Amino acid sequence: MLFNCCKKIGAFLIFLLAFTTVSAQSVDEIKQNISSHSDKIKQLEEEIKIYEKQIETVNGQAKTLQSAIQVLDINQKKIGTEIKKTETGIQKTNLTIKNLGGEIGEIETKIASNMEAVAKTLNDIRQSDEESLIESFLTNKTLADIFDEYELISQFQQKVRVQSKELEAYKGELSDKKVSTEKEKKKLVSLKSELSDQNQILAINKKEKNNLLTTTKNKETEYKKILAARQAEKERFEKELFEFESRLKRAIDPNSFPASGKSILSWPLDNVYITQYFGKTVEAKRLYVSGTHNGVDFRASRGTPVKAALDGIVEGVGNTDEQKGCYSYGKWVLIKHPNGLSTLYGHLDLIKVSAGQKVETGEIIGYSGQTGYSTGPHLHVTVYVSQGVEIQRYSSSINCKNVNIPVASINAYLDPMLYF
């Protein structure tokens, strides 16, 4: 009986060793593929950085037709590379999930085998207990053999129980990792969707480039004329809007919105670089009829995800480009927040939300661009006291009477930097 028991234990251990060896080969192969995908992602990230530097360089040059076209072309390559990076990331995540799944399956098999061994050992103990001491003594050479056999079975039983508990705990850890990895995969799939949106944006921009080439006949002089005309129309609109809002008298309860404080609002971009501050600045005097800038401008290449600065309800969306000559915010989104503040996001290339929609802090509401009047791609953000701003069809305007636009009394404008 002792010989048979030891033989079964040995066979069980050989089975575990063989199973582990075969699985290890598969696991190593998957891990090697994961490492290869990680290297590819790093390589693509370096390419993206190169494109970003090129875009920044060209944007810093004189505003010409050729430079505008060049930026669009570089952006197209950049987004294409980002799509490849995301697809590679999704493949890597799938491999990670597969690897974890294999490890979980291996542990489940080990647990099942251990539990089977435990059951067999318990059965042997039960059968031994059913034999009388005299019967056991008669089938063995010595009494010591009986005690050795019982001791071996007891030790094996205890060892398997301990191992099974450890494997159960490890299985739980791996299951948690698998859940986390699946969440990561969902994020990557979402990111792929975002990049698809950006690709759509660049396709629109490419169409814009073709229209520019057709309109200007690829002549810089014609392009300069178009820019000058837009500047003049923008200044006319700025003047009439400033005069209109100056006449608005809205009573604002000072207790209806929070006092200034850092981090009340989250940054709308992942990478923050401010190009124009709020209020009376050198650039404001040069660019705006009122001499003040009613928000903050952030550097953002076309197709950069723009995120809600705080939970809220989308009060409205619009596109001032729907009326020719209305060089204002372009595509915009206004969000009303529960703390009494409202935020406006302007010059978007693509809007991803609709009026009445609930949004959460950090949720993508659109993508930055160069719609409306803009000397270059960027994101414009205005912060209002909600009591003092409303969306209306600006019928009293000459250039923008057929479009909806947020208008506010002067005292409703707040410095965004006091809340970010």
Range of the domain at 291: 219-418
Residue 143 and residue 105 in one domain:
yes
**Rounded mean pLDDT of the chain?**
81
Same domain, 19 and 117: yes
Is the CB of residue 377 less than 8 Å from the CB of residue 302? yes
Evaluated on CA atoms 360, 363, 364, 370, the torsion sign reads positive
Predicted confidence (pLDDT) at residue 215 exceeds the cutoff of 70: yes
- Looking at per-residue pLDDT, the higher value among 277 and 333 belongs to 333
Residues 203 and 239 in one domain: no
Residues 122-131: contacts with CB under 8 Å, at least 24 apart: 122/157, 124/5, 124/153, 125/150, 125/153, 125/154, 125/157, 128/153
Beta bridge partners of 279: 293
Handedness of CA 117, 119, 120, 124 (dihedral sign): positive
More confident residue, 359 or 393: 359
**14 and 98: one domain?**
yes
* Domain containing residue 268: CATH number: 2.70.70.10
The average pLDDT across 45-53 equals 89
Same domain, 229 and 307: yes
Whether the pLDDT of residue 401 is over 70: the answer is: yes
For 284-315, how does the pLDDT look when each residue is reduced to its tens digit (9 = 90+)? 333 344 457 789 999 988 888 999 999 999 99
State which of 105-109, 120-124, 152-156 shows the largest mean pLDDT: 105-109
Determine the pLDDT at residue 75.
85
- Predicted pLDDT at 384: 95
Distances (CA, A) of 163 to 103, 119, 236: 16, 14, 80
**Higher per-residue confidence, 124 vs 391:** 391
Residue ending a domain, among 158, 179, 210, is 210
Least confident range from 132-141, 238-247, 335-344: namely 132-141
Q: 294 and 399 in one domain?
A: yes
Residue 123 has pLDDT above 80, yes or no: no
Residue 366 has what pLDDT?
95
Decide which of 1 and 256 is more confident. Answer: 256
Q: Are residues 147 and 227 in the same domain?
A: no
Structural domain ending residue among the three candidates 210, 245, 266: 210
Integer CA distances (angstroms), 419 to 260, 321, 371, 378, in order: 6, 30, 26, 20
> DSSP readout, 46-100?
HHHHHHHHHHHHHHTS---HHHHHHHHHHHHHHHHHHHHHHHHHHHHHHHHHHHH
Q: What pLDDT sits at residue 362?
A: 96
Instruction: Give the model's pLDDT for residue 310.
Output: 98
51, 83 Cβ separation under 8 angstroms: no
pLDDT digits (tens, 9 = 90+) for 312-355: 999 999 999 999 888 889 999 999 999 999 999 999 999 999 99
Q: Which are the contacts of 305, defined by CB distance < 8 A and separation ≥ 6? A: 194, 269, 270, 364, 367
Tell me: pLDDT of 9 over 50. no
What is the Cα–Cα distance from 137 to 127, expressed in whole angstroms?
Answer: 14
Residue 360 and residue 405 share a domain: yes
What was the pLDDT predicted at 347?
A: 94
Is pLDDT of 117 > 80?
Answer: no
Q: How confident is the model at residue 126 (pLDDT cuts 50, 70, 90)?
A: low
* Separation of alpha carbons 41 and 47, rounded Å: 10
pLDDT at 20 over 50: no
- What is the pLDDT averaged over residues 359-374? 92
User: What pLDDT score was predicted for residue 139?
Assistant: 62
pLDDT in tens, 27-48: 788 889 999 999 999 999 999 8
Residue after which a domain boundary falls, among 186, 210, 234? 210
Sorting pLDDT into bands at 50, 70 and 90, what band is 419?
very high
Do 175 and 236 reside in the same domain of the chain? no
Closest CA relative to residue 191, chosen from 85, 46, 267, 98: 85
Interacting residues of 310 by C-beta distance below 8 A, sequence separation 6+: 264, 265, 266, 335, 337, 339, 341, 343, 361
The answer to whether residues 30 and 146 belong to one domain is yes
Residue 39 CB: number of other CB atoms within 10 A? 11
Q: Are residues 249 and 316 in the same domain?
A: yes
Which residue, among 269, 93, 80, 77, has the nearest Cα to 189 in the 3D structure? 93
Enter the pTM of the model.
0.74
User: Residue 6 — pLDDT band, cuts 50, 70, 90?
Assistant: very low
Quote the number of domains for the chain.
2
Do 275 and 319 fall within a single domain? yes
Arithmetic mean of pLDDT, 213-231: 86
What whole-number distance in Å separates Cα of residue 353 and Cα of residue 139? Answer: 83
